[in-house]
Structure 1
Amino acid sequence: MPLDILLSEHATEEQRSAILTPLLAHNLAKGGDDAHETFALLLRDPDSNEIIGGLYGKVSYRWLLIDLVSVPESMRGQGIGQRLMHMAEDIAQKKYCIGIWLETFSFQAPGFYQKLGYCEFGRLTDYPPGHTRMFYHKLLC
């Protein structure tokens, strides 16, 4: 059967879904049900009630992915990030996770995660150019 491969320079969500659907079916057949759950720990400004930071995570295949961590610059160094991470670890424990993983950039917070017991398991150099993207994990056994 002849096959056409077409470039879509501005891929749509519909095109992404067409690629994702058979991939998810394959993953389900091989890896089992990925009944993932998401959660957020929100930092709110007490005056405006506006969300000003926090942590966003996803539990999948008994691993917690810490997808986003943001603490306003003016509030850093006060233990807020550490509190967020400990709260996320508590959630992971309650959901019987094997471990936690995350990614960060060399210009973000690798030392912060190392102090909390996370170990590097991979890196992409020059992503972005002149910097490194780093991957960390922590087992919860």
Structure 2
Amino acid sequence: MSTRIERKANPGEEDRSAVLRPLRAYNMAQAGDPKPEAIALLVRSEDSDEVIGGLYGEIFYRWLFIELLAIPDQARGQGIGSQLMNMAEEVAREKGCTGIWLDTFSFQAPDFYRKHGYSQFGELDVYPAEHKRLFFQKRLQ
């Protein structure tokens, strides 16, 4: 088979899907079906019912990855973040997950995750400049 490499600026979803297809096929052959499942815990405004924050994650290979956690400024300090983390853990346990993992920036809330029993397992320095990207996990019993 002959091949060539093309550099493409601003690739579209079709390009991403084309790269993802063989990767998923290989992963499936090596590790089995990841049984992907998305979860969302939405924080809504009582006034307008608008989604103003929440938690979004995906379960793959019996691990919940928390991709997004956003608490609106007006709701900070009211325990909503802790409620979301506790609810995510409940969902992970219900789904038989081994654990939960996430990443965050050093300027966000790494101590919040430590307070909830997460341990750091990696970091990228200078990402972004003068900060770090931190990786946390929590194993479930």
Q: List gaps (5 residues or longer) in structure 1.
A: none
Query: Structure 1 length normalisation: TM-score?
Result: 0.96
Q: Deviations for 1:21-59, whole angstroms, at most 9, x for unmatched residues?
A: 111100000010011111111111011110000111111
TM-score normalised by structure 2 residue count? 0.96
Partner of 1:115: 115
- State the match for 1:91 in structure 2: 91
**For the residues of structure 2 that align with 1:3 and 1:62, how far apart are their CA atoms?**
36
Using the aligned pairs only, state the percent identity. Answer: 54
CA deviations 1:73-122 (Å, max 9, x no partner) are 12111111000000000000001100000000001110100011100000
Give 1:45's aligned residue.
Answer: 45
Once superposed, which parts of structure 1, at least 4 consecutive aligned residues long, lie more than 3 Å away?
none
Q: Distance between the aligned counterparts of 2:63 and 2:10, measured in 1?
A: 32
Note the C-alpha offset of 1:3: 3.1
Matched letter for residue 56 of structure 2: Y
Report the Cα distance in structure 2 between the residues aligned to 1:137 and 1:87, rounded to whole angstroms: 16
Gaps of 5+ in 2: none
- Equivalent residues, number: 141
Q: How does 1:1-141 map to 2 (within 5 A)?
A: 2-141=2-141
